[in-house]
């Protein structure tokens, strides 16, 4: 059955068709029965009653023309006369006590319709046997109703079967698409010749379009894999050369203080570029980030990143400290967490000119608080926009660090929250739902 998945399982096409068939059958049955029942009511309440009124009027005309005229007495209609001034003893016992108007007289073998009218010469009682009417209503009402309903049911079922056969190729195509592995799709499964033989032209066009789309998508995936593989090697190699050359140049005697500062900037820029490349490579991959998940202690990586970030605040009256209120273990790619926390700490260092930066490990997360320039409400709303930078900052940031942080947290199911006050500072709260608090004994056993 063709089913769409969007977090919850949706009803397939066949189920919808069957539901619509049942609803149509129920609606038609209800409408038809209601119509026949209404016709029977009209037959009894309008036609028969009107006929009794006319029959009573006709009888009194006969009485006026012939005072000795007897009440009607036929197979279905029986009349009784109670002359003016005479007691009800002249009437059958079952008619005594009825007031004027229409009445339903129940009997063991059926029921009759009684009509009583009052005239100057007396009162006439007309008893109509309704069995004949009910019999006619059955033969001319419910029997045709049954035939009509059977015809409608058969027609709807044939229509349902024909619609199901028409949609079978679409359902089969949906099943083929559902069973495809996005990472390693077997495009031959989408080939038009794999469809049922009764597939019409529209379904073949759809299958061909899906086959072309899947083929092109596979080319894109292969191109992405080639890019990430080549970029991982070709971009890191020049960075390694730059870092080594900077180390050698820094050890070279006779380098001026200006040259030393330039070397430090080169080293920081190379480290930042390496971190950005690593982040882009992680985010470029769909599903598989290319890094193995492992159990690691967040505190160890935090110490390393805090030490690396000391160069970013060199020469500024800023203190950077790590406060470990607990030790957290997380199962994830350690390099992805390193890129995440590196960007957060680096952003705090770039936008803090004096004061302190505190990295606190507590609960099931990490909090980074700085005393930097802070952000307004408008800037906070645009924080994750690529290449957005606070206008008051004179830093050399690229404006993509926090965007990378947001995308990494979404990729691995982590959480991030920002609090900031203009000219006061910013707090970044990172949450790791699956982190586990460990002790020294846990570290020793690893």
**Residue at which a domain ends, from 122, 140, 158:** 140
The pLDDT of residue 319: 94
82: three-class secondary structure by DSSP: strand
The confidence band for 66, taking pLDDT boundaries of 50, 70 and 90, is confident
Distance CA 442, CA 417 (A): 30
The pLDDT of residue 6: 41
The pLDDT of residue 3: 41
**Section 344-359 average pLDDT:** 91
Strand 122-129 and strand 101-107: the pairing is unpaired
Distance CA 127, CA 106 (A): 12
**Residue at which a domain ends, from 98, 116, 140:** 140
The pLDDT of residue 423: 86
- The percent of residues in the chain predicted with pLDDT above 90, rounded, is 14
Q: Is the per-residue pLDDT at 425 higher than 60?
A: yes
416: three-class secondary structure by DSSP: strand
Q: Compute the CA torsion angle 152, 153, 155, 156 (nearest 10 deg).
A: 110
The pLDDT of residue 4: 42
Please indicate, yes or no, if residue 250 is contained in any of the structural domains: no
Please indicate, yes or no, if residue 342 is contained in any of the structural domains: yes
In terms of Cα–Cα distance, which of 391, 385, 415, 425 is closest to 403? 385
Distance CA 164, CA 157 (A): 10
In terms of Cα–Cα distance, which of 165, 164, 171 is closest to 206? 171
Write the pLDDT tens digit of every residue in 162-212: 777 777 777 777 777 777 666 566 666 666 666 666 666 777 777 777 777
Strand 318-324 and strand 327-332: the pairing is unpaired
Q: Is the per-residue pLDDT at 340 higher than 70?
A: yes
Q: What is the CATH number of the domain that holds 375?
A: 3.30.565.10
Range of the domain at 391: 291-445
Domain count, the chain: 2
The pLDDT of residue 411: 85
Q: Is the per-residue pLDDT at 11 higher than 80?
A: no
Please indicate, yes or no, if residue 176 is contained in any of the structural domains: no
- CA 292 centroid distance within chain: 32
Q: Is the per-residue pLDDT at 14 higher than 80?
A: no
Write the pLDDT tens digit of every residue in 218-252: 777 777 777 766 666 677 778 788 888 888 887 88
The pLDDT of residue 297: 94
H-state helical runs in 105-235: 131-137, 143-178, 201-234
Please indicate, yes or no, if residue 279 is contained in any of the structural domains: no
109 Ramachandran zone, left/alpha/beta (phi>0; psi -120 to 50): alpha
The pLDDT of residue 362: 92
Q: Compute the CA torsion angle 367, 369, 374, 377 (nearest 10 deg).
A: 30
Q: Is the per-residue pLDDT at 76 higher than 70?
A: yes
Please indicate, yes or no, if residue 212 is contained in any of the structural domains: no
The mean-pLDDT minimum among 61-70, 91-100, 159-168 falls in 159-168
Please indicate, yes or no, if residue 249 is contained in any of the structural domains: no
Please indicate, yes or no, if residue 37 is contained in any of the structural domains: yes
The pLDDT of residue 334: 86
The confidence band for 83, taking pLDDT boundaries of 50, 70 and 90, is confident
> Between these two residues, 404 and 40, which has the higher pLDDT value?
404
The number of beta carbons lying within 10 Å of the beta carbon of residue 278 is 20
Q: Is the per-residue pLDDT at 418 higher than 60?
A: yes
Work out the mean pLDDT of the chain and round it to a whole number.
78
Residue with tokens 């570029």: 273
**Section 404-415 average pLDDT:** 87
- The percent of residues in the chain predicted with pLDDT above 70, rounded, is 76
- CA 368 centroid distance within chain: 36
Distance CA 25, CA 116 (A): 44
Please indicate, yes or no, if residue 184 is contained in any of the structural domains: no
The pLDDT of residue 8: 44
Q: In what order do the strands lie in the sheet with 318-324?
A: 318-324, 355-362, 365-370, 425-431, 415-421
> Between these two residues, 427 and 385, which has the higher pLDDT value?
427
330: three-class secondary structure by DSSP: strand
> Between these two residues, 94 and 279, which has the higher pLDDT value?
94
H-state helical runs in 255-333: 257-284, 298-309
The pLDDT of residue 427: 94
* The pair of three-digit structure tokens given for residue 365, joined into one six-digit string: 């997360």
> Between these two residues, 400 and 155, which has the higher pLDDT value?
155
**Residue at which a domain ends, from 140, 175, 198:** 140
Q: Is the per-residue pLDDT at 257 higher than 70?
A: yes
* DSSP 8-state class, residue 433: T
112: three-class secondary structure by DSSP: strand
**Section 53-69 average pLDDT:** 86
Q: Is the per-residue pLDDT at 7 higher than 60?
A: no
**pTM of the shown model:** 0.50
The pLDDT of residue 444: 46
């Amino acid at each position: 059955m063709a089913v769409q998945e969007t977090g919850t399982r949706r009803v397939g096409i066949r189920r919808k068709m069957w539901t619509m068939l049942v609803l149509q059958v129920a609606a038609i049955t209800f409408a038809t029965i209601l119509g026949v029942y209404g016709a029977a009511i009209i037959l009894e309440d309008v036609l028969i009653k009107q006929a009794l009124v006319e029959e009573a009027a006709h009888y009194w005309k006969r009485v006026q023309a012939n005072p000795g005229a007897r009440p009607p007495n036929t197979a279905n209609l029986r009349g009784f006369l109670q002359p003016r001034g005479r007691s009800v003893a002249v009437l059958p016992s079952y008619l005594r006590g009825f007031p004027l108007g229409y009445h339903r007289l129940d009997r063991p073998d059926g029921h009759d319709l009684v009509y009583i009218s009052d005239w100057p010469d007396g009162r006439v009682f007309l008893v109509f046997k309704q069995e004949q009417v009910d019999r006619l209503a059955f033969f001319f009402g419910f029997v045709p109703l049954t035939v009509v309903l059977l015809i409608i049911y058969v027609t709807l079922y044939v229509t349902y079967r024909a619609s199901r056969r028409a949609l079978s190729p679409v359902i089969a195509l949906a099943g083929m698409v559902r069973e495809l592995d996005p990472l390693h799709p077997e495009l031959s499964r989408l080939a038009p010749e794999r469809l049922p033989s009764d597939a019409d032209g529209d379904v073949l066009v759809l299958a061909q379009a899906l086959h072309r789309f899947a083929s092109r998508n596979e080319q894109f995936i292969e191109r992405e894999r080639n890019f990430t593989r080549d970029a991982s090697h070709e971009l890191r190699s020049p960075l390694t050369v730059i870092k080594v050359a900077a180390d050698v140049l820094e050890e070279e005697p006779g380098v001026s203080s200006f040259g030393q500062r330039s070397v430090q900037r080169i080293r920081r820029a190379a480290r930042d570029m390496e971190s950005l490349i690593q982040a882009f490579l992680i985010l470029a991959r769909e599903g598989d980030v290319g890094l193995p998940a492992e159990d690691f202690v967040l505190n160890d990586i935090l110490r390393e990143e805090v030490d690396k970030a000391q160069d970013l605040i060199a020469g500024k009256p800023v203190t950077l400290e790590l406060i470990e209120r607990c030790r957290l273990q997380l199962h994830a790619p350690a390099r992805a967490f390193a890129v995440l926390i590196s960007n957060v700490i680096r952003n705090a260092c770039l936008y803090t000119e004096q004061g302190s930066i505190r990295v606190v490990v507590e609960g099931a997360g990490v909090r980074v608080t700085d005393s930097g320039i802070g952000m307004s409400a408008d800037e906070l709303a645009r924080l994750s926009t690529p290449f957005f930078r606070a206008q008051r900052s004179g830093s050399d940031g690229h404006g993509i660090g926090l965007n990378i942080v947001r995308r990494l947290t979404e990729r691995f199911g982590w959480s991030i929250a920002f609090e900031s006050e203009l000219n006061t500072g910013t707090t970044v709260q990172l949450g790791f739902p699956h982190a586990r608090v460990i002790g020294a004994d846990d570290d020793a056993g690893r």
